[in-house]
Structure 1
Amino acid sequence: MFMTLAGLSATGAAQTVWGIEAYSDVCRVVFVEDENRIGQGTIDHLDEGCRVGPFERYAVGNMGEVRFLGASGDILMSVMPDGAGYDGYVGDGDPVTMSVMRSEPARRYSSQDRARPPARPSYAAGGVGKATAPECVRYYDSRQCAQDHDLGMPGSRFDLLPIETRARMNKRFMANLNSSVEGQIEAGVCVEVRNCTERMIDEEIWCEVDHDGDWSWILKQDAQYVYAGAGCG
């Protein structure tokens, strides 16, 4: 698989463009392999305002898995070979596909110059629940503005309500996107909640839930989306 990715590297005159399809959007990227590290290199974005990333680097595993890394080295996306392309997951369990689009004249945004995603909405000091910007926090599945009862903690800290997933969620060992994945919960599943925590710096709410007899953490809400609503039915 190292040789496969090496063939995607940009040359002085032309480059092979890969299309990453996720969140109902397609973003074009180019792999630029590191001359000193086989199967590793940088990623150049050809489109501004992509909803995935921004990615800084990539690394290929022994089984052909391609990991997309952010500026701090955290894994933002992972795909595996599937036929002529790749399939995998991005973010907190959202599906993604990657396939060759075409070769075109070399033109790309550097990691320093390319546009970054829009800034997250700002929030009041009291917590994640109320946005001070006109933009609302939306349900992940419908993209509609979330109702007040689904924002913030699901109930009080001492009387937490069950929550119902609105997306396929990764179950994690700890309340962190960098924590190990222990399984998945499909959308529309009602789960009991034992504990919730707010990560104010990241504007995230994580809940420890009971699913299939195991307790693990899922991301209930971040600055953009509600992934699980309070209450069920």
Structure 2
Amino acid sequence: MRESAGLTVADAGRELGADRTRISNMEAGRLGVSTERVRTLANIYAAPDSAYVDALSGMAEERGKGWWEEYRGTLSTGALDLAELESHAVSLTVLQVVYIPGLLQTEEYAQAVFRQSVPKLSHLDVQRRVSYRMQRKRVIERTPAKSCTFLVHEAALRMLFPGADGQRRQLERLIEMSEQEDISIRVIPFEVGAFPGANSSLTFATGPVPQLDTAALDTAHGSVLLDADTHVENYRCILCRTRDISLDAKDSRDFIHKVAKQL
């Protein structure tokens, strides 16, 4: 908003009665910002999009009140940011190639994944991360559930993280979840070959307004959130093209059934 208004950080500081360091820290997310201050800044910048201002104000009002706050100090900031992003999103689209998406994982599967972490996690750290992952599932288990599309590669269906029996139970969980009205699970079979985003582990959160659309990349160092227009548009395109080459919901359910029977 400040840049669109043609103001410098120093200009904004003078208008707000704050030093430029405070403005910079608010913009970088290093300092919290109140709903009142969001609206004051929007007024200073003559922001024309009231829906955008309302969405930002709503986020500022809820900041620090989510269930994930009980894990602050014990889990990474990136992990907490992902749960907060999922909570605020209007809808979610998830692409996973090697893993079953976290929101669909059984506790058994999640434990097996975290036991493969490097450096190795203690039993307590594994349990803490599993508990956190299970709580993230609130966004798809509440009523009404958040609209979610999961694009899952065949490789993820066949990787035996918890062993054959555990993987079968995980696939049965996918089948069960795929029957929910607001959840769509789409399988990308090996036979489609190469596709855009094949190296990605991605959650795309559609915000209450387009300016708040965000792509969250899952990396070895944790979640990385991207909201620059170019990044968002690139990942939006990747997901659109990947959805086009995936099986539809019914064929995906049948495909998962087939893989489960082979275990």
The alignment's TM-score, normalised by the length of structure 2, stands at 0.27
Q: Identify the structure with the greater helix proportion.
A: 2
Q: Identify the structure with the greater strand proportion.
A: 1
Higher-Rg structure is 2
